[in-house]
Amino acid sequence: MRLLLLGAPGAGKGTQAAALAERFGVPHISSGELLRRHVAVGRKLGRKVAAYLERGELAPDALVSAVVEEALARAGPGYVLEGFPRTLSQARAADARHVDGLADAAVFLELPDDVARQRIAQRTAAGRSDDRDREVVERRLRTFHAETDPVVDYYRDRGLLVTVDATQPPDVVTTAILAALAGTS
């Protein structure tokens, strides 16, 4: 199973990706987590990436794609990939690189912006610096609609999209995703 998870900040991508990866016995790859790890290491790439993360802007396509492809190469045939692709050009380039495309299905965790704002405000205690600043959160939401809504449409047009109501409790969302995926196979 090669699965993508798409959704606005606060939609629960990380939580659902972890649950699905465990369920399918495949690695969980998070583009945001990979980038944060580079920042933590603090070398040249990390310093470059840090500026984008702090501002709530997308990191450059080529940079993110390289980091994600490296993780995919290590992952083997199955994975749950979360947070990537986030732009149409990332999606198109990734599909071109992989013989069978990047994924078998893309799960869209649908969440109204006001619920996303509330959730992010609640999780600031967990310590992500890009969750703390309201302006940064608003930029991430705007960026999601401008850059990633078209990615959702891209997978819908290809018949690969499964949309799930992400306002529900996490275990209900997981069950809904599994049911929807079973319906597509």
Q: In whole angstroms, what is the distance from residue 7 CA to residue 82 CA?
A: 9
Q: In whole angstroms, what is the distance from residue 67 CA to residue 130 CA?
A: 20
Instruction: Decide if residue 31 touches ligand AMP (CB under 6 A).
Output: yes
Reference 12, options 179, 177, 185; nearest CA is 177
Q: Which stretch binds ligand AMP (CB under 6 A): 16-24, 50-58, 70-78, 172-180?
A: 50-58
CB closer to ligand AMP, 112 vs 179:
112
Q: Is-contact 152 162, C-beta < 8 A?
A: no
x/- contact string, 145-184, with ligand AMP (CB under 6 A)?
Answer: ----------------------------------------
Instruction: Decide if residue 38 touches ligand AMP (CB under 6 A).
Output: no
Q: In whole angstroms, what is the distance from residue 120 CA to residue 168 CA?
A: 16
Q: How many residues bind ligand AMP (CB under 6 A)?
A: 18
CB closer to ligand AMP, 134 vs 179:
134
| DSSP structural state of residue 124 | G
Q: In whole angstroms, what is the distance from residue 86 CA to residue 144 CA?
A: 8
Q: In whole angstroms, what is the distance from residue 152 CA to residue 162 CA?
A: 10
Virtual CA dihedral for 171, 173, 179, 184, nearest 10 degrees?
-150
Q: Which stretch binds ligand AMP (CB under 6 A): 54-62, 154-162, 166-174, 177-185?
A: 54-62
Q: Which stretch binds ligand AMP (CB under 6 A): 83-91, 96-104, 115-123, 166-174?
A: 83-91
Q: Which stretch binds ligand AMP (CB under 6 A): 58-66, 69-77, 113-121, 175-183?
A: 58-66
- Chain positions contacting ligand AMP, by CB under 6 A: 9, 31-32, 35, 52-53, 56-59, 64, 83-86, 90, 130, 140
